[in-house]
Amino acid sequence: MRRKINLLIGFMLMASIISGQTESQFCDLLNRSVDSYLQKRQPVVAKSRNETVFLKDNIPVGCHFSETATRLYHIVQFEKMHYRKARLRRGVAAYRVLPVVLAGDIVSVRITAVVVTRRKNNYTISSGDGYTCRYRLNGGSGQWELLDEVETGL
């Protein structure tokens, strides 16, 4: 019985170590993609005091935007409690990270511009143009390398 418990604890410890490394790599890919997108999309935002709003969905709980991007682009996460009804009726411009796609050894991180509106307690998210960063895992170094960046429109 004691051997089974030790084996179970060993597996749990290995799983926590492995998941911690992959989450860190995923957060790095996400930060690189967001930085690249915002540099191309909003070069003037860095000079203004406007906020860059991101929706929380598809962003892992432990993953945070890089400190430089948060400071430079004033990145905040969308909280419906922070906006008045009139502001939500007009619409709040935001960005959304779509679900990450893994195809073989290629990871695609997609970001789209969205508008969040509210009508009679119903929230609507309208998507706009998008941006995709594709990364390939380098087998020798174990690092993710940028393959290409693709802008997509409606």
Residues 105-147: tens digit of each pLDDT: 889 999 999 999 999 888 898 988 889 999 998 878 878 889 9
**pLDDT for 104:** 84
Note if the pTM is more than 0.85.
no
Q: What is the dihedral of CA 59, 62, 67, 72, to 10 degrees?
A: 20
pLDDT bucket at 19, cuts 50 / 70 / 90:
very low
Residue 96 predicted with pLDDT over 80: yes
For residue 148, the cross-strand partners are: 134
Higher pLDDT, 39 or 42: 39
Residues 81-94: tens digit of each pLDDT: 888 888 888 988 89
Please give the Cα distance from 41 to 59 (Å, whole number).
Answer: 20
**pLDDT for 18:** 46
Contact between residue 66 and residue 35 where contact means Cβ atoms under 8 Å apart: yes
Q: Is the dihedral of CA 78, 80, 82, 85 positive or negative?
A: positive
